[in-house]
Structure 1
Amino acid sequence: MTNGGKEATLHHRILSDIEGRIVSGEWPPGYRLPFEVDLAVQYGCSRMTANKVLTHLARAGLIERRKKSGSFVSQPVTQAAVLEIHSIEAEVRSLKLAYSYRLENRVLREASPVDRQHLELSETAPVLDLVCLHHAGERPFCLEERLINLTTVPEAEGEDFLELAPGTWLISQIPWSTAEHRIYAQSASAEVARTLDISRNAACLVIERRTWGSTGPVTFVRFTYPGDRHALVARFTPGGEN
């Protein structure tokens, strides 16, 4: 094998090794990678080959190269389409991270005045109040606070939601005809900071969604994400006005 061929093979081997460690979570976000010279010694390659590997990883968004500090595993950032309704699990798996879910609280009760406002109910009705936490790898990814209108979706009362997230269940069970999103930034309260394992008053991205079906309001949900790990994207076509 020529020297060029050997270097190319080493390039792919090093790249595969490092990608595997990042995707598996062995090297978590913020982890500092070995320096170029150390990679060259470890793999018996030239510094140029090590540099090319790190450049490739940086272009792919897996690492961040900082002048004089080294290379660090990037914080995962997911892009949620504003006009789509999809599962949190799909968001996490798009990052090539392991997904897990935990039900924090489940309460069956009559709708409060605030609940009625969220769901646009003209009179009181039974609701299912759910609090869920979604994880990406070992880290909290999203806090979900959801109200389900049991007048429209009475089947939800019989679901414990211990294994299946309510959003996933609703998508598969209840057709919706209209949806509304409200998106804003908010500082983390003490409780949210503790739940998401972030600093108090850290910036969070909040997405509130309401959906309606043919027989009335279906659900109101508030998703709270750590602000440095989430982005929104919307695709649209030109309309009649600029």
Structure 2
Amino acid sequence: MSTTGTVDAEGGGSLHQRILSDISEKILSGAWAPGHRIPFEHELTEQYGCSRMTVNKALSQLAKAGLIERRRRSGSFVRRPQSQAAILEIHDIKIEVEALGLPYRYERLARQKRRSTAEDRELLELDAAGPVLALECRHFAGKRPFAHEQRLINLAAVPEAGDEEFLNTSPGPWLIGCVPWSAAEHRIRADAADKQIAAALDIQAGAPCLVVERRTWGADHPVTHVRFTYAAGSHTLVARFTPSQS
């Protein structure tokens, strides 16, 4: 895998570039997961038959690129990539993952058409019972789970969603492409992973998570409620605003 665009290999020789390329490939492919310890400098010096200065320069560039974290006296470790999303935007997680330089993969875990429960009606803010589609999905960055998605779609507002399996298509981009939305609401909170979320994100039960919940409406009708759960440290929310005009 080429490191072009991932690290700045300026002024280095072939061994320097090879170290950059080898370590970048292991990180971006998911072979080395976040938290994995990079071999110590003396181990890399012996492995590549080069000077410690060459190894140090390569590791410094990897740290500058945000791929690794160097800790004094402890060594270097694969850094958990942090994505950024604007709080007031409805974004595609695929674009978010690809912006990190990682391959994206989507997986549908469950799909159920049913008559709305009391909890469904509360989440969607429905006045009366009606048909809904419940989906559970996972989004991957490389080989690691990136986000867990739990979504309800109001089939009275989007009846065509009832015929869509969402096996190969994520429901978020599908809805954006099929249903114009007129209003949206975000709620953001911290939570501890329960057993279901821990298994889906491959983290320990009780680990801290960032939860982003969103409702959207179209033509005054509730369209969808979605809950995205991220492992803490993997996602950053960004808001940019200007002074209000009186």
Q: Same fold (TM over 0.5)?
A: yes
Give me the whole-angstrom Cα distance separating, in 1, the residues matched to 2:234 and 2:121: 32
Could you say what the CA RMSD is over the residues aligned between the two structures, in angstroms? 2.0
The one of 15, 20, 25 equivalent to 1:20 is: 25
1:211 corresponds to which residue? Answer: 216
Give me the whole-angstrom Cα distance separating, in 1, the residues matched to 2:42 and 2:192: 42
Which structure 2 segments of 5+ residues have no match? Answer: 1-9
Q: Is the 8 A contact 1:81 1:234 kept in 2?
A: yes
Percent identical pairs in the alignment equals 57
Q: Is the 8 A contact 1:193 1:200 kept in 2?
A: yes
Give me the whole-angstrom Cα distance separating, in 1, the residues matched to 2:20 and 2:135: 42
The alpha-carbon deviation at position 120 of structure 1 amounts to 1.7
Partner SS for 1:164: coil
The one of 164, 170, 174 equivalent to 2:175 is: 170
TM-score (ref. length: structure 2): 0.89
1:112 aligns with 2:117: yes
Kindly provide the amino acid, as one letter, of the partner of residue 104 in structure 2: Y
Give me the whole-angstrom Cα distance separating, in 2, the residues matched to 1:191 and 1:97: 25
1:150 aligns with 2:164: no
Moved more, 122-131 or 12-21: 12-21
1:122 corresponds to which residue? Answer: 127
Q: Is the 8 A contact 1:7 1:45 kept in 2?
A: no
Moved more, 14-23 or 50-59: 14-23
The one-character-per-residue Cα deviations of 1:162-221 (angstroms, maximum 9, x if unpaired) are 111111211111111111100000111122222222111111110000011125111000
Kindly provide the amino acid, as one letter, of the partner of residue 165 in structure 1: S
1:229 corresponds to which residue? Answer: 234
Q: 1:4-19, aligned counterparts within 5 Å?
A: 7-19=12-24
Which structure 1 segments of 5+ residues have no match? Answer: none
Give me the whole-angstrom Cα distance separating, in 1, the residues matched to 2:165 and 2:196: 24
Mark the CA change 1:46 to 1:7 in structure 2 (over 3 Å): closer, same or farther.
farther
Number of residue-to-residue matches in the alignment: 237
Kindly provide the amino acid, as one letter, of the partner of residue 114 in structure 1: E
1:42 aligns with 2:47: yes
The one-character-per-residue Cα deviations of 1:59-100 (angstroms, maximum 9, x if unpaired) are 211001122221111112211221111122222222222222
Give me the whole-angstrom Cα distance separating, in 1, the residues matched to 2:113 and 2:145: 25
2:91 corresponds to which residue? Answer: 86
The one of 36, 50, 58 equivalent to 1:53 is: 58
1:30 aligns with 2:35: yes
2:243 corresponds to which residue? Answer: 238
